[in-house]
Amino acid sequence: MKTTNEKTEAEAAAKGLEKTIQLKGKNHRELGLAHGKLHVFANDEVFAMLEPNAYTMADNNLRIPRNQYMSYTPDAHIGVGTCIGTTAVWNMKDGFISPSIVGSDIGCGMRVHTTPLHKRDIQDKEVRRALISAIEKYVPTHERTNTNYEDIDIMSVVQHGLKGLPAKYVPNEQWLTHVEQSAFGFDHKALEHLPPRIKRSAHGQLGSLGNGNHFIEIQYLDINEEYSELAEKWGLFDGQVVVMIHSGSRAWGAMVGREHNKVIKEAMHQWGISNPDPNLVYAPIASHEGQMYLNLMYSALNFAVSNRHMIAFGVQQAFRDVFGPEMELPVLYDLMHNYALKEFHRKQPMLVHRKGATRALPPNHFLNTPAYKETGHPALIPGSMGTASYIMVGKDEGLKNFYSICHGAGRARSRRATKQLVTVDQFEQSLRVGSDDEILVNHRSLQDILDECPQAYKDVDQIIDSVVGASLAAVVAKCQPMAAIKGT
């Protein structure tokens, strides 16, 4: 479709951007940049918010040879080397791997557990405060506080993922099957190239939350009537209390990223490869450096999925403290949004990078985990603190974006700008402080987490509207917050 949207073209010209824009469908634009094509999935309002530097960053990414596809989801915003909200694809045979397009928190992702409770069961603030206190007992929220799982071998976890955990930490088989992937295989010899301090840094962090935008949130569901049958198949009901967890690979992933950014940057210098952005590093997949990073990235993915698993294990213990020892919290799903994974598309193996992008496979897609082969898996999309989150399902049309959708609301302003522009009073209003339906938090002072207020993020409803309008995925349930636990 070659028709150009005159309004969008005028907006681009006003921003001084050298690009062509073609409408490919609702909420889908194809931008011709100097070094390739960028697909952007966003409604008009969200598209107009995209920073001009995001296009410069995309064009720098497209300088990497033999790129097969690149896109931004509607939550896209400036990151280091690459925008958060990027999907970028290369052939496995002759393509490239980029730590910058994986992200610094390798394997960061989402997890949701269901409960048999209805929102009325925790409407009392004292019940929710008891849950917050109990969760903090089992899940460290302070950066320097370690967990007490001394019988867990970190090396076994990074080598074997969930299969490396002692049996007593796996409540049932469902905790292993309702995940995007329970273990990522790789050449364990790659671990020999990591500095010894990485194990020391990661020790005691398994099952800890981390800070920044990581959280544990207690929510209740509003089921989309159009998808009520699917929701029932997934074990969801209107008003149901669920727990959403957002965390990643902690020090293990951070150190893998830092070490191999240096290694690949040095290799690029030796190969005579340069890029206008010094923070963008990449290597051929088949190179020694590329293979080393790929293997070690998988070790971080194993840590990340195990970390969320152990956080959830602690959360279940907390719910049992409050509601009794028989309380069970089944896993709905666990997935990642910072990684590069070998997938089969267009009848060939490809390396799909997703940095702040969530895979959303449709029903009957062969890449679905067996538990969700028939229905498609739940795609878990958090909002911002004090706003709704979403549980979605991928659609067949998602093929046009390699089945990638948003990973959240996406930041609208930096942490520093947020602290300068938003007051604690405005944050309190967002959390409805003092009302019966107040969203409780685990911090006495909201000033400490002001940079995570809703005003720091884009409007999540507009982000979801962009995804739904582009026919990438559909909403199954809206998750309304009742209590939030943030790290420090």
> Tell me: the pLDDT tens digits for 56-71?
999 999 999 999 999 9
Q: What is the mean pLDDT of the chain?
A: 94
Residue 77 annotated as binding site: no
Average pLDDT score over residue span 45-57: 96
Overall average pLDDT of the 108-132 stretch: 98
Residue 278 labelled as part of a binding site:
no
Q: Is the pLDDT of residue 15 over 80?
A: no
Least reliable range by pLDDT among 18-27, 34-43, 123-132: 18-27
pLDDT digits (tens, 9 = 90+) for 259-308: 999 999 999 999 999 999 999 999 999 999 999 999 999 999 999 999 99
Out of 34-38, 168-172, 432-436, least confident range: 432-436
What is the per-residue pLDDT across 333-352, written as a single tens digit (0 to 9) for each? Answer: 999 999 999 999 988 999 99
Q: pLDDT tier at 471 (50, 70, 90 boundaries)? A: very high
Query: What is the mean predicted confidence (pLDDT) over 216-230?
Result: 98
pLDDT at residue 4 tops 60 = no
Annotated binding residue 407: yes
Reported confidence tier of residue 14, pLDDT bands at 50, 70, 90: very low
As a whole number, mean pLDDT of residues 230-253 equals 97
3-state secondary structure of 118: strand
Which of 1-10, 13-22, 187-196, 258-267 has the least mean pLDDT? 1-10
CA distance 416 to 229: 44
Q: Out of 76-80, 214-218, 416-420, pick the least confident.
A: 416-420
Check if 113 is active-site.
no
Residue 306's Cβ-side half-sphere holds a number of Cα atoms within 13 Å equal to: 33
Confidence class for position 445, pLDDT limits 50, 70, 90: confident
- Give the count of beta carbons closer than 10 Å to the beta carbon of residue 482: 21
Q: Which two tokens stand for residue 376?
A: 């498609």
The residue type at 362: P
Q: What is the pTM of this model?
A: 0.94
Residue 142, marked binder: no
Q: Does residue 81 surpass a pLDDT of 70?
A: yes
Query: What's phi and psi for 324, nearest 5 deg?
Result: 115, 155
Instruction: Measure the CA angle with vertex 46, ends 340 and 82; round to 5°.
Output: 30
State yes or no: 133 annotated in a binding site.
no
Task: List, in order, residues 6 or more apart from 374 with CB less than 8 Å away.
Answer: 363, 364
385 is in an annotated binding site: yes
* Residue 377 marked in a binding site: no
Q: Is 386 annotated in some ligand binding site?
A: no
Residue 320, token pair as written in the block: 């049992």
Residue recorded with tokens 């999309």: 381
**Is the Cβ–Cβ distance between 472 and 384 less than 8 Å?**
no
| Tokens describing residue 297 | 């990235």
Q: Is 274 annotated to bind ligand?
A: no
Q: Flag whether 213 is marked binding.
A: yes
Pairwise CA distance, residues 46 & 130, whole Å: 39
CA nearest neighbour of 340 among 400, 373, 295, 286? 295
A 10 A CB-CB count for 438 gives 15
For range 30-54, the mean pLDDT: 97
Residue 120, Cα to own-chain centre: how many angstroms?
A: 30
Read off the pLDDT of each residue in 434-451 and give the average, rounded to a whole number.
90
Exposed, middle or buried, 112 (CB in 10 Å: 0-12/13-18/19+)?
Answer: buried
- Binned at pLDDT 50, 70 and 90, residue 371 comes out as very high
Distance, in Å, from the CA atom of 369 to the CA atom of 363, rounded to the nearest integer, reads 11
Q: Is 383 within any annotated ligand binding site?
A: yes
pLDDT band at residue 443 under the 50/70/90 scheme = confident
- Residue 408 assigned ligand-binding role: yes
Assign 485 to helix, strand or coil: strand
